[in-house]
Amino acid sequence: MKEKVVLAYSGGLDTTAIIPWLKENFDYEVICCCIDCGQGEELDGLEERAKLSGASKLYIENIIDEFCDDFIMPCVQANAVYEYKYLLGTSMARPVIAKRLVEIARKEGATAICHGATGKGNDQIRFELGIKALAPDLKIIAPWRMTDVWTMQSREDEIAYCKAHGIDLPFDASHSYSRDRNLWHISHEGLELEDPALEPNYDNLLVLGVSPEKAPDEGEYVTMTFEKGIPTSVNGKSMKVSEIIATLNELGGKHGVGIVDIVENRVVGMKSRGVYETPGGTILMEAHQQLEELVLDRATLEVKKDMGNKFAQIVYEGKWFTPLREAIQAFVESTQEYIAGEVKFKLYKGNIIKAGTTSPYTLYNESLASFTTGDLYDHHDADGFITLFGLPLKVRAMKMAEVEANK
């Protein structure tokens, strides 16, 4: 009886060519597993393609709600942003994909999991760290790193390989952007983006929306509500998180929100340039932060910013299934108890403009904040506070003056 391998299958040329390659070189029974994180029409026609390529079975696993509730929202609540701009769209999806691949491998009695990530990117790390953490006994096959066996180096090579194995597929050798899509975002790499000196060709590149220049000339108001840091409605309509993100994607895309051009530091040591479209995610992150501004005290917010940066690094590096991620997430969740209220903003040509935020737990006190303070604040109290707060500075300045005088 042949050993089984579970292949993380996208339906693209790379993973399609891997199917006959696995059978030819390892004599595996290949079970394809396509994880639906919100790729949309990219899933069309996958079953026929997988079977045509030699797979014995194809799973199409819809994990959109799990992705949103258990992986996206912890990152939103942590305000996890990698290197100032990247909202972790691909990074967040990899651990939930790895988790489901392991579950299918266990169900099928497979001995290995295969992925099509290259040896130069972050995804190989994210997939494999997830698999190692959840199923250390399973073998991991990464064809692009097995250069003694995987001899294909281009799309032309892969197409020729498929044809030689009787697989005629609707792919051509024309080069295009390398993209990764899920409900949260779509990433773009390649072509002119490989040169940071070149401006992105947004007319050819954008998928989820338009550039700010092509957005409507009139802004649009949006209202959201939150409970315990979780979004609960958009414009008065209650929805689950996945529906809220989909709704915000439409609104944000329409108004050119969430387009980021970034040169980031990959885990493997190189810099890479990409453009990310995250229209709904950008809005959701901003709305959540607006509530936190009202509700969290200064000391908690200060520590939470540091924890958010660390959380982003952990997720980016593929270390989701670690005690450190769990510990930081527990801290973050404890800060979300009172993150509730309503956020209103206007979307206009790539901008998210505040239009009013309210919360039953707001720490903003109008009488304290106004120039005509009430009983809670006496201006004279500031004298003693500043004296003590500035005492180390004064003592040091006096000592330095003494040292200078004694020279």
- pLDDT 10s digits, 288-333: 999 999 999 999 999 999 999 999 999 999 999 999 999 999 999 9
Could you please report the per-residue DSSP string of 138-179?
A: SEEE-GGG-TTT----SHHHHHHHHHHTT---S-------EE
pLDDT at residue number 390: 96
| Token representation of residue 209 | 């929306």
- Which residues face 223 on adjacent strands? 344
Q: Which residue has the higher pLDDT, 370 or 80?
A: 80
Note the pLDDT of residue 372.
65
Structure confidence at residue 374 (pLDDT):
65
174 pLDDT above the threshold of 80 = no
Angle between helices 298-316 and 323-335 (to 10 degrees): 150
Q: What angle do CA 172, 174, 179 make, to 5 degrees?
A: 95
Reported as a single tens digit per residue, the pLDDT across 47-78 is 888 988 999 999 999 999 999 999 999 999 99
Provide the pLDDT confidence category of residue 45 given band limits of 50, 70 and 90. Answer: confident
Helix%, strand%, coil% for the chain, nearest 5: 45, 20, 35
- Average pLDDT, stretch 124-136? 98
Record the tokens describing residue 207, joined without a space. 């998928």
pLDDT surpasses 90 at 99: yes
What pLDDT shows up at residue 373? 60
What's residue 26's pLDDT?
Answer: 96
List the structure tokens of 358: 């309210």
Residues 183, 323: Cα–Cα separation, whole Å: 27
Q: Sorting pLDDT into bands at 50, 70 and 90, what band is 377?
A: confident
Q: Tell me, yes or no, if the two domains 4-62+91-164 and 184-358 fold the same way.
A: no
Distance, CA of 306 to CA of 159 (rounded, Å) = 47
Provide mean pLDDT across the span 39-52: 84
**Is residue 163's pLDDT more than 70?**
yes
Report residue 207 CA to chain centroid gap. 17
Is pLDDT at 223 greater than 80 in this prediction?
yes
- pLDDT at position 182 over 80: yes
Predicted pLDDT of residue 379: 85
pTM: 0.94
DSSP state for residue 199 in the 8-state scheme: P
How do the domains of the chain map onto residue ranges? 4-62+91-164, 184-358
Backbone φ and ψ of 130, nearest 5°: -65, -45
Is the pLDDT at 386 greater than 80? The verdict is yes
Residue pair 248/283 in contact by the 8 Å Cβ criterion: yes
- Say how far apart CA 382 and CA 391 lie, in whole Å: 14
Higher per-residue confidence, 24 vs 169? 24
User: Which residues are part of the catalytic machinery?
Assistant: 14, 94, 123, 178
pLDDT band at 371 (very low <50, low <70, confident <90, very high): low
Q: How confident is the model over 147-176, as a mean pLDDT?
A: 86
> What is the rounded CA–CA span in Å between residue 355 and residue 344?
5
* Torsion 211-214-217-220 (CA) sign: negative
Across the range 149-157, mean pLDDT stands at 91
**Pairwise CA distance, residues 75 & 88, whole Å:** 8
- pLDDT score, position 117: 95
- Mean confidence (pLDDT) of the chain: 95
CATH number attached to the domain at 4-62+91-164 = 3.40.50.620
Q: How far apart are CA 151 and CA 255, in angstroms?
A: 45
Q: Locate the DSSP E strands across 57-170.
A: 57-62, 112-114, 139-141
Q: Residue 299: its pLDDT value, please?
A: 98
Mean of the pLDDT values across residues 387-394? 96
pLDDT at 170 over 80: no
Q: How far is CA 135 from CA 32, 80, 315, 327, in A?
A: 18, 27, 19, 22
Q: 184-358, what's its fold?
A: Argininosuccinate synthetase, chain A, domain 2 (3.90.1260)
